[in-house]
Structure 1
Amino acid sequence: MAQSNFSQVTEFILLGLSDTRELQVAFFTIFFLAYTMVLLGNLLIIVTVRTDPKLSSPMYFLLCNLSFLDICYTSVTIPRMLVDLLSRRKAIVFEGCIAQLFFLHFVGSSEMFLLAVMAYDRYTAICKPLHYTAIMSRWACWLLVCSCWAGGFLHSITQTWLTIQLPFCGPNTIDSYFCDVQPVIRLACADIYLTQWLMASNSGLISLGCFLLLLTSYTLLLLSLRGRLTQGHCKALSTCASHLLVVTLFFLPCIFIYLRPPCTFPFDKYVCVIYTILSPLMNPLIYTLRNNEVKESMQRLWKCCSVF
């Protein structure tokens, strides 16, 4: 029977991170500051890269795209969460919930693919410097970035389509601060066992696959530099180590949430904070504060702005 004959739910109630007023105020302050830092930090990176001709290499082109994705990714969940933290009734309409679910997976999976591409870029730059320009040409960079977006869209539309095929007739309470596939489909008035496994294999395998590609890239990089570590190579490895730390914070919680049997734990929503807020917050810090070229470009940009 068609979904319209079953679906009586017109909105979902988000329980959020806490029902204690004092904690809600504290969370609002922390996450508002975090969101502000994400926006300002990533916008600064985008403006710096776009205005400085010296930052025209593929690495900075990919970094600029990562900053744009981080802005989009955090904007899918944090503004809504901030509003709910100050509201007594945390309701979201059915269509809004599905839209949030779609854009969360669209941007999130696109970022996973992009991080894998960035790891490949670093491997090529360090291990194959003579062929780097030919391999990572401008055309190749655009093709890789567009493929990341296309892959993210294909993944997200699959997850969303599987979700809206289910009938929802109550209950309508989601124990989280945003709409995601697993907590939403558990509210369906139907047998969702097969759907849960299909979604887990989709999201989980993408997270695990991209993470394994990252580990493979960095492992090959370490092996190629073994025994010939110059000062430049040591600096490159230090940078890669910090990048690996950030992507681990992003991927491991995603793998934990999505690649497992259909079940839920009370602390799942706190694990989600790591990859929806903490990881995007750390990206601008790790990718810029450890990069002298970006810092020097930001200083030149600040001096130019100060003149006016």
Structure 2
Amino acid sequence: MTEASVHDHRVLYGCMGLGGSWDAEPLGAGDIAEAEAAIRAALDAGISMFDHADIYRRGKAEAVFGEVLARTPGLRERIVLQTKCGIRLADGDRPGIYDLRGASIVQRVEESLARLRTDVIDVLLLHRPDPLADPEDIAKGLMSLHEQGLVRQFGVSNMNAAQIAHLQAHLGVPLIANQLEMSLLRRDWVESGVLVNTSAGAANGFPAGTIEHCRMNGIGLQAWGPLAKGRFTGRQQSPAERATAQLVADLAEAKGVTPEAIVLWWLQRHPARIAPVIGTTNPDRILACRYAAEREPELTHEEWYRLWITARGEALP
């Protein structure tokens, strides 16, 4: 698997919803059936890269996916597996913490491999920055995994340009992805670039230069929460969301696609070629994203701006 092959995936399927409840209940037949249906729908929609994290459903998301892999000969060779580590959920008296110590990364990956029932993880993302972590120690753990053939490529999640550059300075292989929350609802990543030297810019907390750093260094951008929990495809709440949902519906009808495709195309139309990570477990809604997986975004310059301005509820500065 090459770096280019990862970046060629237009849409990823996020597996956070698989595996049943977030408690210690064991997997049931219903959980496995739900996972099988979601994975099959994703494949039918042209999606073959699957995004996990060791904490999703307290490990059960990886475990149920591993069960589906074991039941489906040849499936592992058809897909790209990505998982994340670095968050440790609260346990007893210990609060939830971040942990990117090198030895901890290695242990978490070994546990993920066992749950996923695979010999190798294609892409490992560091889930959240750990303020106590030493980049040199992180790199030592990552390179150990790489040299053992347990992880092919690495990336990060929820990190800014400086954090990425600091880690990359110690790492012998390139970081190839950064996963951030981005959508028509969560627009700070694009707003930050046009609110420079405005009063509104002071309230925008997105780290300046992160998108540009990723683009300049071949780091693919992945968007978690890209459908904004359906805010523009049926669950709108504010006047701006209702107006945007109507515009999305009108564009979808005019182009002969689903509303979900329009919402995802808005991300994909950006020059960074953002890859949305969709997280629904509903097979019909997964299939509604197929146009974004199979076709280049069909939004004009003006349509892209109209969606943005309608969603923000006011004119650009």
TM-score (norm 2): 0.25
Give the structure with the larger helix fraction.
1
Give the structure with the larger strand fraction.
2
TM-score (norm 1): 0.26
Higher relative contact order (CA 8 A, sep 6+): 1
Which structure: larger Rg? 1
